[in-house]
Amino acid sequence: MSSSIVKPIYFFDEADGNNRALLGGKGAGLAEMTKLGLPVPPGFIITTDICEKFYEAGKRLPDGLMDEVRKSIKKLEVSTGKKLGDAANPLLVSVRSGAPVSMPGMMDTILNLGLNDQSVEGLARQSKDARFAWDAYRRFIQMFGKIVLGIDDRQFEKEMAGKDLNDEKVLRKVAASFKSLCENTGKKLPDYPYKQLELAIDAVFRSWMGKRAMEYRRQYGITPDMANGTAVTIVAMVFGNTGQDSATGVVFTRDPETGVKRLYGDYLVNAQGEDVVSGKANPSHIDQLPGQMPDVYSQLQQVCEKLENHFNECQDVEFTVERSKLYILQTRTAKMSALASVKTSVDMYHEGLIDKTEALKRIDPEGLEQMLYPRIGPQVKLKPVAAGVAASPGAASGVAVFDVARAEALGRRGEKVILVREDTKPDDVPAFFLSAGILTTRGGKTSHAAVVARGMGKPCIVGCSQIEIDTESCSFAVAGKTIASEGQKITIDGSTGRIYLGEVPTVDPEITSEFKEILQWASEMKAIRIRANADTPESATLARKYGAEGVGLCRTERMFNQHDRIAIFVRMIMAEDDDERRKALAELELLQRSDFRAILKEMQGLPVTIRLLDPPLHEFLPKEEELMMQIFELKSSGGPRTESEMLRREKMLRRVHELSEVNPMLGHRGVRVGLTFPDIYEMQIRAICEAAAGLVKEGVKVEPQIMVPQVAIVNELVAVRHLFESVKREVEHRHKIKLKILFGSMIEVVRSCLVADEIAHVVDFLSFGTNDLTQATFSFSREDAEAKFLPFYLEKTVIPANPFQTIDQKGVGRLMKMTIEMSRKVKRDIEIGICGEHGGDPRSIEFCSAAGLNYVSASSHRIPIAILAAAQSAIRSSKDSRLSRFLSD
Ligand code: PEP
Ligand code: MG
């Protein structure tokens, strides 16, 4: 063994269970449970360091590793009294993967290793159960064939189809046919157990770089510093398939869907672990176990309690019962729905198991969105066509698709897809990411589909045995009657397990008391303020309900886009003389005033940042082609009434031509419109001042802020500030009051970052428009990049993350830091925030907090996510500063 590796293998009873990086999650859990005195079968762990060496050596097991494995197996033989490959009393082992970060089902595992034509007879004699021995043997050949020899599992399934697997003689034949399948590949299934072991270890290491595992790591942002490879855990086999007094199952220490404190899980009598997690059989609910195996159940309860108290986290526990004796094969932190994660964290705090910081740390902010998902409203009286197990909450509608590749293709095109399958395999995960929901006819809450969907926050129903899928005709039937075919719209409710035909209306979810409590703690803990991007009073109300501390961006143009207003705006653009234009502007001013009034009132004295008009004027007019078509149609139809209509459209077409631009994104928009058509900004500023004045006179507290978009040159701001001051003075004079209205600039043009010091002299606050700033910094069109080349860039890791979602720290982030530094040199306390979409992204919030921004502004429905992310980043930074203080002491 190479000298740079200190120790390649650890037995469970000697390993440090806290060292997940070295032992992987599975190995660390087994070591910890062994230390706790729980009934764990003996075994050992090949460390993740060896996995790294394996890849360094070009996918070769390090020299000398198998000698160490051999020594460890000898030790295992002594402790079990069995011998690997023995014809009399064979030792069988499982070879399992386990990375430092949990990746359920994404890597490979081989069970029953050590069986060959001789040892299977030994196992039959020793267990006095030939059926069991041959069942174990056929399982081993199948797994080894699939994982090591790369045989398509469907070939094995085909060989078994329709056969009575309870009959030993049949199983012998199945095993023989499986062996021939292996031989057909030109590779041989080795008889020699140590060769089997070597190939299995090699295959598990390889599965770390398998397509499934890599895709999973990419999707969940698992980077090499978080997990450097997989460990291989080798455990003496215990058998859940030795008769009616044996079983295998998975149990959660609390309900993973609701968070309620009770054991929740599935088990199968006379089966092996894979049968439960693969979802190929419909297991029994754990509540039935006390009736079948009362002693085992109460022992399992005690184990679960001990594990929870030890890890202070809900656990997902794999167990096997061999001839009435309970064994625990794995424990890991349970993956739960967001609802359950919030509830268990709050409950565990009240139970005295964890503190508030710990409770906040363990909730995934992105997952909270799940709790805010729409549900099918109680008023919906539609009858579901079938019901299955509610496995991951939320309702989703989409077209039913029965094939994984088709689901992926449609999903990629942006279609909403419900993937409908009998069961799912880990290979199906890429299709999960692209589907709106998942429906399976087999499996339980702990089956693979359920675990993965819950982790992704996708609505999912499993084990819906009422529906029968016909893969030939791509349709499903209930009670023998075809009710939905591929492409037809269906709706699934992952919170109730119900399936509906067509698209069903949904309602917004309620906020639970635990959710409120968590938000309260997070609000107390965070160090940055959270505002909302809200353009309507309704959206401001929602933002307040979720705890927003103001509106960071009110896009005024959205108000013009409403149906009844666009006509007035068009009239203003098309006005032939000043009088007509003034009239249209006066109408718009009244409408804007009432909008601003409603939002300011809703926010009760919290800051409301109102941005003056941003888009180019032609965006409000019909498209050129549309107008030309209308003119053509009018010309062809003729008649006196059409004459005036035609003239009106021709005039509009001329205006469209006047206003049209080759590159509108870089064109006549934002402050450039404000300066060239000053009456528009004047109208908006007056509407804001009048709304504020009216409320102040009624005794309502208000804090409006006026923000100018697309600023590149300080003189642009100087001119608008001048206009603002004069309108404000005029309104103050008329109402005989003083108004407090801050004036600020968006920072979304690269030049504005470079002259931030000049800008700071003219404004009271700055707000980063990181959508446009990202576009400008990369020269990536924000309208096109994500649909064109960005997915390719992400797949090929040309870029580590989508810069329109997570702030690009090296480029955009650097510009931001420079802007902050330059502007604060001029005005030390200048308020600086961010109002691009990044304001609702947890990783960007972490950056914004560290960069010293005063607030982030996120869309209303992401406020809870932003609050939690801000609290977590405050916790991390206080830990970091404690750590750095400690290190410098
Ligand atoms: C931005 O550019 O980041 C921004 C907030 O403005 P908009 O998205 O309206 O262009
Ligand atoms: Mg912008």
Whose structure tokens read 């330059």?
Answer: 822
**584 neighbors 568 (Cβ within 8 angstroms):** yes
pLDDT at res. 199: 96
Residue closest by Cα to atom 6 of ligand 1: 769
Report pLDDT for 677: 95
Residue 795 neighbours by CB under 8 Å, 6+ apart:
none
In 3D space, the residue among 233, 197, 156, 209 whose CA is nearest the CA of residue 70 turns out to be 197
The number of the ligand nearest the C-alpha atom of 710 reads 2
**pLDDT (0 to 100) of residue 243:** 86
Residue 401: helix, strand or coil by DSSP? strand
351 C-beta neighbours (distance < 10 Å), count = 13
CB atoms within 10 A of CB 309: 12
Query: What is the model's pLDDT at position 565?
Result: 80
Q: Indicate which residue's Cα is closest to atom 10 of ligand 1.
A: 772
Asked about 448 being catalytic, the answer comes back as: yes
Is pLDDT of 400 > 90?
A: yes
Taking the C-alpha atoms of residue 562 and residue 566, their distance in angstroms, rounded to an integer, is 6
Q: Which is the closest atom of ligand 1 to the Cα of 837?
A: 3
Mean pLDDT, residues 123-133: 91
Mean pLDDT for all residues in the chain: 91
In whole angstroms, what is the distance from residue 362 CA to residue 345 CA?
A: 7
Instruction: Say what the pLDDT of residue 886 is.
Output: 46
Rounded (5°) CA angle 285-246-92: 125
* Separation of alpha carbons 560 and 439, rounded Å: 42
- For residue 331, the CA-to-ligand 1 centroid distance in Å is 46
Q: What is the DSSP string of 43-108?
A: EEEE-HHHHHHHHHTTS-PPTTHHHHHHHHHHHHHHHHT-EET-SSSEE-EEEEEE-SS--TTSS-
The closest of 569, 559, 634 to 598, measured between CA atoms, is 559
How close is the Cα of 457 to the center of ligand 2, in Å? 30
Which ligand 1 atom is nearest residue 775's CA? 2
Q: How far is the CA of 746 from the centre of ligand 1 (A)?
A: 9
Residue located nearest, by CA, to atom 8 of ligand 1 = 771
The residue type found at 75 is: K
User: Is residue 65's pLDDT more than 60?
Assistant: yes
The per-residue pLDDT for 483 is 86
Q: For residues 499 and 466, give the distance between their C-alpha atoms in angstroms, rounded to a whole number.
A: 11
CA 156 to chain centre: 34
Q: Which residue has the higher pLDDT, 728 or 539?
A: 728
pTM: 0.77
Q: Is 463 exposed, middle or buried (0-12, 13-18, 19+ CB in 10 A)?
A: buried
Atom of ligand 1 nearest to the CA of 835: 5
| pLDDT value at residue 445 | 67
Q: Could you tell which of 745, 819, 835, 837 is best to mutate to test the pocket of ligand 1, judged by most ligand atoms within 8 Å of the CB?
A: 835
Q: State residue 369's pLDDT score.
A: 73
Confidence of residue 104 (pLDDT cuts 50, 70, 90): confident
Could you tell me which residue, 192 or 2, shows the higher pLDDT? 192
Using the 8-state DSSP alphabet, how is residue 649 labeled? H
262, pLDDT greater than 80 = yes
The ligand with the least distance to the CA atom of 767 is: 1
pLDDT tens, residue by residue, 294-308: 999 999 999 999 999
Which atom of ligand 1 is found nearest the CA of 838?
A: 3
Neighbours of ion ligand 2 (CB under 5 A): 748, 769, 772
pLDDT band at 663 (very low <50, low <70, confident <90, very high): confident
Largest Cα span, the chain? 105
Reported as a pLDDT band with limits 50, 70 and 90, residue 3 is very low
Asked whether 268 and 281 are in contact (CB, 8 A), the reply is yes
- Cα 616 to averaged position of ligand 1 atoms, centre (Å): 14
CA of residue 709 to ligand 2 center, whole Å: 7
Q: Over 70: is that where the pLDDT of 887 sits?
A: no
Q: Which residue's alpha carbon is nearest to atom 3 within ligand 1?
A: 769
Nearest-CA residue for ligand 1 atom 9 is 555
Q: For the ranges 423-432, 621-630, 740-749, 855-864, which has the lowest average pLDDT?
A: 423-432
- Please report the beta strands in 447-538, taking only residues with DSSP state E, as ranges in sequence order: 460-462, 467-470, 475-478, 481-485, 489-493, 498-501, 506-507, 529-533
Q: CA–CA separation, 31 vs 531, rounded Å?
A: 46
Residue listed under structure tokens 């409950």 = 347
Q: What value does the mean pLDDT take over residues 200-218?
A: 92
Matching residue, tokens 């979810």:
509
| Smallest CA separation from ligand 1 atom 4, residue | 769
Choose among 144, 85, 89: nearest CA to 117: 85
Token pair for 738: 């003083």
Q: Which ligand is nearest to the CA of 833?
A: 1
Task: Using alpha carbons, list the distances in angstroms from residue 244 to 270, 284, 324, 326, 582.
Answer: 6, 14, 9, 14, 87
pLDDT the model gives residue 444? 73
Q: Dihedrals φ, ψ of 606, to 5°?
A: -80, 155
Q: Which atom of ligand 1 is nearest to the CA of 614?
A: 9
Mutate to test the pocket of ligand 1, among 612, 614, 671 (most ligand atoms within 8 A of CB): 614
Please state, in angstroms and rounded to a whole number, the distance separating the CA atoms of residues 317 and 299: 13
Nearest Cα to Cα of residue 520 among 538, 550, 546:
546
Ligand 1 binding pocket mutation candidate from 612, 665, 770, 771 (most atoms within 8 A of CB): 771
**Residue-wise pLDDT tens digits, 560-594:** 766 668 889 999 999 989 999 999 999 999 999 99
Please answer whether residues 606 and 703 qualify as being in contact, where contact means their C-beta atoms are separated by less than 8 angstroms. Answer: yes
**Distance from residue 325's CA to the centre of ligand 1 (Å):** 63
Determine contact, residues 251/317, Cβ cutoff 8 Å.
yes
Which ranges of 269-317 would DSSP assign to H, the alpha helix?
273-277, 289-292, 294-311
Cβ-based neighbours of 765, under 8 Å, separated by 6 or more: 609, 705, 707, 742, 743, 744, 745, 830, 831, 832, 833
Tokens representing 354 are 């964890």
* Angle between helical axes of 48-56 and 193-207 (0-180°, round to 10): 80
Calpha distance 786→802 (Å, rounded)? 8
pLDDT score, position 465: 87
Residue nearest to atom 1 of ligand 1 (CA): 769
- Helix (H), strand (E) at residue 327: strand 325-333
Judged by average pLDDT, the poorest of 460-469, 660-669, 879-888 is 879-888
- Give the whole-number percent of the chain exceeding pLDDT 90: 67
Asked if pLDDT for residue 427 goes beyond 80, the answer is: no
Catalytic-labelled residue, pool 51, 314, 689, 835: 835
Bridge partners, residue 234, by sequence: 44, 95
- Residue 838 Cα to ligand 2 midpoint, Å, equals 12
Q: State the Cα–Cα distance between residues 452 and 457, nearest whole angstrom.
A: 9
Q: Can you tell me the distance from the alpha carbon of 46 to that of 841, in angstroms, rounded to the nearest whole number? A: 38
What is the Å distance from ligand 1's center to 776 Cα? 12
Please compute the mean of the pLDDT values over residues 156-173 and round it to a whole number. 90
Please classify residue 793 by burial: count the beta carbons closer than 10 Å to its beta carbon, then call 0-12 exposed, 13-18 middle and 19+ buried. Answer: middle
Q: Is 377 a residue whose pLDDT tops 80? A: no
Pocket test for ligand 1, best of 746, 780, 816 (most atoms within 8 A of CB): 746
* pLDDT (mean) for 456-467: 86
Are residues 90 and 115 in contact, defined by beta-carbon separation less than 8 angstroms? yes
Q: How far apart are CA 195 and CA 114, in angstroms?
A: 10
Choosing from 182, 448, 464, 753, which is the catalytic residue?
448
Pocket-forming residues, ligand 1, beta carbon under 6 Å: 553, 555, 614, 748, 769-772, 835-836
pLDDT in tens, 624-633: 888 888 888 8
d(CA 612, CA 599): 15
